[in-house]
C-alpha cells in the first residue's frame, strides 16, 4: 500500500488535536460511537445543507460538501462549532491540497450550521509545505509499534477515545 494513501483528512484532524488519537485511528481503533459528541456531529452532518451535494468520496478523502459556484469548485467541511476552527482549517486545506495534486483547483468553506456561519479558506504555498511536513510526520506516527503516551490536554474532556487513555 502506498504510504500516503494511508493519510486522510480525519488523520490530519486527529494529528492536530492529539498524536495518540491519530495513532489509534490509523490502527482502526474506533472511538466510542455512542459518545454524545460523535452522535451530535453525525446528526448535524445528516441534517445540514440538504440541498448541497454531500460527502463526495475520492481516493482517500470524504469531502462533506462539493458544489460549483460561479465556475469555481467549492468544497466544504461541516463542523459542530467553531471552537476547533484552526484544526478544521488544516483538514479542509488537506482536501484542497490533495485535489490540487489531481489537477482540481478548489476553494474551501468551513461551515458551522449551529452558528449559522461559514468561513472561506484558501491554500497558500506555506500551507503546502506545512501539509507535506504533517503528512510525513503522520506516516512516521502510523508506523510506530505503540501509540504515544497520553498527554492531558483541553480536548480530553470531550474525547471519544478517553477510555483508551484514562480508564
Give pLDDT tens digits for 72-110.
999 999 888 888 899 999 999 999 999 999 999 999 999
Confidence of residue 167 (pLDDT cuts 50, 70, 90): confident
Q: 48 pairs with which residues across the strands?
A: none
1 confidence band (pLDDT: 50, 70, 90):
very low
Where in the chain are the domains?
Answer: 3-166
Please, what CATH class does the domain formed by 3-166 belong to? Answer: alpha beta
Q: In the 8-state DSSP scheme, what is residue 115?
A: G
| Residues 148, 19 contacting (CB under 8 angstroms) | yes
- CA dist 138 and 142 (Å) reads 6
Amino acid at each position: 500500500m502506498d504510504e500516503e494513501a494511508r493519510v486522510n483528512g480525519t488523520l490530519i484532524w486527529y494529528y492536530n488535536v492529539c498524536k495518540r488519537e491519530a495513532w489509534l485511528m490509523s490502527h482502526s481503533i474506533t472511538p466510542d460511537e455512542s459518545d454524545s459528541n460523535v452522535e451530535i456531529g453525525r446528526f448535524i452532518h445528516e441534517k445540514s445543507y440538504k440541498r448541497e451535494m454531500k460527502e463526495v468520496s475520492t481516493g482517500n478523502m470524504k469531502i462533506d460538501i462539493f458544489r460549483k459556484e460561479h465556475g469555481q469548485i467549492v468544497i466544504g467541511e461541516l463542523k459542530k462549532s467553531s471552537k476547533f476552527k484552526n484544526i478544521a482549517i488544516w483538514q479542509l486545506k488537506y482536501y484542497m491540497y490533495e485535489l490540487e495534486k489531481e489537477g482540481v483547483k478548489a476553494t474551501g468553506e468551513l461551515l458551522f450550521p449551529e452558528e449559522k456561519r461559514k468561513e472561506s479558506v484558501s491554500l497558500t504555498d506555506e500551507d503546502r509545505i506545512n501539509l507535506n511536513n504533517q503528512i510525513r510526520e503522520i506516516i512516521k506516527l502510523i508506523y510506530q509499534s505503540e501509540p504515544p503516551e497520553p498527554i492531558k490536554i483541553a480536548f480530553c474532556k470531550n474525547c471519544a477515545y478517553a477510555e483508551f487513555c484514562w480508564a
